[in-house]
Chain A
C-alpha cells in the first residue's frame, strides 16, 4: 500500500468533527509551528519539501510564497482556491467534504508563514453543501482557539472566511477569483502585476489550491525531508488523482508521485482495469484541459519508457507525444468512445465558460464548438479539420488567461492523435460508435 498523507484518516467516521480530527493528531502542526518556526523558517521548510501547486500549473509553493511583496505596509491575504470545476477533477471536494479541518489547519500554517491576518476560502458555488461543512469546521476552530485573536495564547491572530462563488469555471483562475471575491464580475486580470504584488483589494496575495494547503500539516509534523523523500526528483510527495470514465473503480486515489500509469489503471488498488474488459483507447491525464493521449502514448512515452504519474514523465515529449499532470483529473476512455463527441463535450464546456473578455477566446471557443457540432451531426467537410487546427493554434497563447489554452489544447491534441477518426466521421456523415 502506498503511503497516505492526505487521505490517511479519510475513512474515519465523523472526521468533520473537531474532536475526532484533534484526537487523530489534528492541529498539532499549528502547535509545532508556534514552538519551532518563525514565518520565514516555515516558508523555507515548505520550499525544502519540494511541494508544487496542485491546482494544475505545478508551480513550487514555497517559491510562490517567497514572491509575496513584504515591503509594503498594506495588509496581505492568503486565499484558498476551492473553485474546483475542471471536468474530471473532483479531488478537492473530497478533502473539503470529508476532512475540512485538514484544510483549515493548512490555512493557519500558510497564513502564519505569509504574515496574513485575514484569509479566505473561495469555494465553488455549486458545492454549497461543502461550504456548510467548512463553515461549521471554521466555527469549531474558533471555539477551540485555533482561529481568532491570539491563537493558542500566541501573538498571532487570524480570521478565516469561506466565500462561495456564483457558478463560473473562470473564477478558478486566480485573478478572476480575486475579482469575484471582491464582489465584481469574474474577469481575469491582465498580468503583470501578479497577485503576489497586487492581489485582493490591491494588496499582496497568495492563492493556493486546496490540496496544496491540505498537504502542509503533514509537512510540518513530519518535516520537509520526509515529504521530499516521497516521489521522484522533480515531483515530490503524494498527489490526489480523481479517476473517472470507463474504469471499474472510479474515485479519488492518493498516489505517490512516480507511480506507473499502467499500474494506476490496471491495479486493483486503484482503477481496477477497464470496464467490461474493454480495450483502453485514450486518457486525459490531468483534467479536461490537458492534451489527450492515445493508449500507446499514455502507457509508454515515445521513447518506449513506462509513463509515470509525475510532472516530468507526463510532460515527456512535449505536446507532440506528451501531456501534463495538471490537476489530476484522470479521464479514461475505452474503445467504445467517439473522439468527436467527447471533444465536442469539452468544446461546449469551454465555450460556455469563456468570460468573453478577450477576442480570441470569446469568438474562438464558440467557433470550435460549432464546427465540432457540424462534424458530429454528419455535416462536416474535410477542410473543417484544418480549420479547427487553425483556430486552436491562434487561440492558444494569445489570450489574457489560460482558459484559451485550456480550450485549444484538447482540440489540437484530439486531432493530432485521432485525425483519421474525424475524417471517418466526415466521410461516413455519421458516428460509427452511436449508429
Chain B
C-alpha cells in the first residue's frame, strides 16, 4: 500500500491511499481534527451530510498545486499525495463552520437542561465551540411530539439533526429496518409509520450513535444527569455480542448500560439489547475498573472557565 504525505494545518502526516482527510486529521489528533456530526467510521457510507467538517484544500496534490474550488467535506474526501489542507488555520472554514452550527441549531430546541443527552451531546460541544453568542433568528422552531419508536427507545424529533446514523445502524446491523426518513426538506422526520415498530436485538445501538438527544434510552429517562453517574468498564458472557460495555453507576445501582465509546464518541463495538437493557443487576457483570472518559465534552472539560471574564476558575 502506498503512503501519501498530507499536510493539515501545517502538520505533516503519512497515511495510506484511500484515507479520508478527516481520518488523516484524526491520525494527527488534537485541534486539527474537524468536528463530525454525521460521519461514523464504523458505519459504511456515513458522512457528508452535516457539513460541520468542511475544510479548505489549498493544494490538491503534489502534481496539482491548484486549490479545490469549494470547501470539501473532510469525512468523504480522499487524500492525495502532497495535499495541503487548512482546517482551523482558515478563516473561511471557521466562518462556514459557524454558519453550519447556526443552521443545525435553527430548529434544534435549547432544552439541554431537560435533555438526557446533555453532557455527551456533540451538538452541545459544537455550539459551544462554534456557535453564536446571540441568535440571529426570530423564527419559531418546528415541533413534534416525542414518541416511543420501540419498547426501549424514545424519539424526540425536535432534537434530530438528520445525520442518518440510526438508519445506517438499522440497515447495516439489524436484520430489518423499520424506520426511515419521511418527508422532505425541513419537514423531514425520522419515523416508523407504525409506532413501536423498532424491535430487534441490536436496536439499542441507535441510541449510542445518535449525536444529539433525539434517540434516548427509555430505561434511563430522567434517572440522572450523566455527569452524576460513574462509568465502569465491565463485561459478561454473551452469545450475541462481545459483552463488553460501560456501566453507568450511582452507588451500586446500574442506571444505564452503553457500549464503549472512543474519544470521537464512536462505539468500539456494537452491543446487543440483552446486555444493554436486561442486565441492570451488578451481579450480572464482571467489573474491570473505572472507565476513562475522554474529556472532550463541554461539561466534563470545564470549558466554561474560558467564558469567565474575571479569569477565576468556575468549577462545576
- With beta carbons under 8 angstroms apart, the residue of B51, B161, B183, B186 that contacts A398 is B51
Q: A363-B106, A394-B99 are in contact. Are A358 and B51 (CB under 8 A)?
A: yes
- Asked if B292 is at the interface (CB within 8 A of a chain A CB), the reply is no
- A363 pairs with B51, CB closer than 8 A: no
- A358 pairs with B136, CB closer than 8 A: no
- A362 pairs with B186, CB closer than 8 A: yes
- Asked if B54 is at the interface (CB within 8 A of a chain A CB), the reply is yes
What B residues does A387 contact at CB under 8 A?
136
What B residues does A363 contact at CB under 8 A?
103-104, 106-107, 186
Q: How far is the CB of B125 from chain A (nearest CB, A)?
A: 16
What B residues does A365 contact at CB under 8 A?
185-186
Q: Which residues of A from 385 to 426 have beta carbons under 8 Å from B? A: 387, 390, 393-394, 397-400
User: Which chain A residue shows the least CB distance to B50?
Assistant: A359
Q: A190-B76, A397-B70 are in contact. Are A362 and B188 (CB under 8 A)?
A: yes
- A394 pairs with B96, CB closer than 8 A: yes
Q: Which residues of B from 6 to 54 have beta carbons under 8 Å from A? A: 47-52, 54
Q: Which residues of A from 346 to 373 have beta carbons under 8 Å from B? A: 351-360, 362-367, 370
What A residues does B187 contact at CB under 8 A?
356
- Asked if B184 is at the interface (CB within 8 A of a chain A CB), the reply is yes
What B residues does A358 contact at CB under 8 A?
48-51
- A400 pairs with B48, CB closer than 8 A: yes
User: Which chain B residue shows the least CB distance to A187?
Assistant: B181
User: Which chain B residue shows the least CB distance to A361?
Assistant: B185
User: What's the Cα separation between A351 and B164 when bound, in Å?
Assistant: 20
- Asked if A3 is at the interface (CB within 8 A of a chain B CB), the reply is no
User: What's the Cα separation between A226 and B211 when bound, in Å?
Assistant: 59
User: What's the Cα separation between A387 and B96 when bound, in Å?
Assistant: 15
- B103 pairs with A359, CB closer than 8 A: yes
Instruction: Give the interface size bracket for A toward B.
Output: 20 to 34
User: What's the Cα separation between A165 and B103 when bound, in Å?
Assistant: 30
Q: A190-B48, A360-B51, A400-B48 are in contact. Are A355 and B184 (CB under 8 A)?
A: yes
Q: Which residues of B from 216 to 272 have beta carbons under 8 Å from A? A: none
Q: Which residues of B from 148 to 201 have beta carbons under 8 Å from A? A: 161-162, 164, 180-181, 183-188
Q: A190-B76, A362-B185 are in contact. Are A356 and B54 (CB under 8 A)?
A: no
Q: A355-B184, A356-B181 are in contact. Are A370 and B162 (CB under 8 A)?
A: no
- Asked if B312 is at the interface (CB within 8 A of a chain A CB), the reply is no
User: What's the Cα separation between A394 and B132 when bound, in Å?
Assistant: 15
Q: How far is the CB of B5 from chain A (nearest CB, A)?
A: 21
- Asked if A332 is at the interface (CB within 8 A of a chain B CB), the reply is no
Query: Chain B interface mostly helix, strand, loop or mixed?
Result: loop
- A360 pairs with B100, CB closer than 8 A: yes
User: What's the Cα separation between A370 and B137 when bound, in Å?
Assistant: 10
CB-CB contacts of A201-231 with B at 8 A, as 1s and 0s? 0000000000000000000000000000000
Q: A367-B106, A370-B139, A398-B51 are in contact. Are A359 and B185 (CB under 8 A)?
A: no
- B71 pairs with A352, CB closer than 8 A: no
Q: A359-B161, A360-B100, A367-B139 are in contact. Are A354 and B186 (CB under 8 A)?
A: yes
- A356 pairs with B50, CB closer than 8 A: no
- Asked if B73 is at the interface (CB within 8 A of a chain A CB), the reply is yes
What A residues does B188 contact at CB under 8 A?
356, 362
What B residues does A397 contact at CB under 8 A?
70-71
User: Which chain A residue shows the least CB distance to B163?
Assistant: A359
CB-CB contacts of B83-126 with A at 8 A, as 1s and 0s? 00000000000011001101110110000000000000000000
User: What's the Cα separation between A397 and B52 when bound, in Å?
Assistant: 13
- B51 pairs with A359, CB closer than 8 A: yes
- B185 pairs with A356, CB closer than 8 A: yes
Q: How far is the CB of A372 from chain B (nearest CB, A)?
A: 12
- With beta carbons under 8 angstroms apart, the residue of A185, A353, A399 that contacts B51 is A399
User: What's the Cα separation between A190 and B74 when bound, in Å?
Assistant: 12
User: What's the Cα separation between A394 and B139 when bound, in Å?
Assistant: 18
User: What's the Cα separation between A387 and B186 when bound, in Å?
Assistant: 19
What A residues does B54 contact at CB under 8 A?
398
What B residues does A357 contact at CB under 8 A?
49, 162, 164
Q: Which residues of A from 244 to 285 have beta carbons under 8 Å from B? A: none
User: What's the Cα separation between A399 and B139 when bound, in Å?
Assistant: 22
Q: How far is the CB of B64 from chain A (nearest CB, A)?
A: 15
- With beta carbons under 8 angstroms apart, the residue of B49, B137, B183 that contacts A367 is B137
- B184 pairs with A168, CB closer than 8 A: yes
User: What's the Cα separation between A371 and B103 when bound, in Å?
Assistant: 14
Q: Which 7 A-B pairs have the closest CB atoms?
A: A394-B99, A356-B188, A354-B185, A190-B48, A363-B103, A366-B186, A363-B106
Q: What are some 25 contacts across the A-B interface (CB < 8 A)?
A: A168-B184, A185-B180, A185-B181, A351-B185, A353-B184, A355-B184, A356-B162, A356-B181, A356-B185, A357-B164, A359-B51, A359-B52, A359-B103, A360-B51, A360-B100, A360-B103, A362-B162, A363-B186, A365-B186, A366-B185, A367-B139, A370-B139, A394-B95, A398-B71, A400-B48
- 4 A-B pairs besides A356-B184, A394-B102 with CB distance below 8 A are A359-B52, A360-B103, A398-B54, A398-B96
